[in-house]
Amino acid sequence: MGRVATLAGVAVVLSLAAVMLPGVAAVRYLVGKDMGESGNAWTTNVNYTVWAQNKHFYNGDWLFFVYDRNQLNVLEVNETGYESCDSNHPLVNWTTGKGRDVVPLNVTRPYYFISGNGYCYGGAKLAINVENPPPPPVAAPVKSGSPASFYRGRIILPAVFAVGAMWDTFLRFC
């Protein structure tokens, strides 16, 4: 019986902690989703500027490139390499050889991606800007003397402590 009560207590605490944590979730973007004709999202004859224009890329998000591994690749280049489709000196070669590459966006800055072997000239190029996430909304302050501040300080907090004390006592006797 004591073990069941302890497990139930742990479950309650973990549930409360999960509810109290801020809702921060990274987004994984499938690059070119719904834009390519071949079923691959990273391909030629796609305007990736149009794909990215209404998206906000934040620090912690991910880019997921899906493409024909026998033809294309994923190279991160500087702005000059992006503009000229120069794949000779990539900053990072994200190509794993499987045609499914994931790029973490973990630095706030512009990112430039191209595909080598001439496919950049066919449109396989993407430029994005990664930003810090916006701050969470700020709650309006509670006016002192209002019913909310009265209940918060005189009823809610003592009730929380009383429930915790009773729970602790219950666990000791089980």
Confidence class for position 129, pLDDT limits 50, 70, 90: very high
In 3D space, the residue among 85, 73, 133 whose CA is nearest the CA of residue 112 turns out to be 85
CA distances from 102 to 13, 44, 129 (A): 35, 19, 17
Any idea which of 7-16, 79-88, 132-141 has the lowest mean pLDDT? 7-16
| The model's pTM | 0.66
Q: What is the pLDDT of residues 25-41, one digit of tens each?
A: 789 999 998 775 555 68
pLDDT for res 166: 75
pLDDT for res 35: 76
Per DSSP, the residues of 7-73 read: HHHHHHHHHHHHHHS------EEETTTTT-SSS-SS-SS--HHHHHTT--EETTEEEEEE--TTT--
Over residues 114-130, the mean pLDDT reads: 95
SS3 174: coil
Q: What is the pLDDT of residues 130-171, one digit of tens each?
A: 999 988 888 777 666 666 555 555 666 677 777 777 777 766
Question: Alpha-carbon distance 45 to 106, whole Å?
Answer: 29
Given a contact cutoff of 8 angstroms between Cβ atoms, the answer to whether 125 and 80 are in contact is no
pLDDT for res 16: 44
Query: Of residues 38 and 108, which shows the higher confidence score?
Result: 108
Confidence class for position 172, pLDDT limits 50, 70, 90: low
Question: Alpha-carbon distance 66 to 149, whole Å?
Answer: 53
pLDDT for res 145: 60
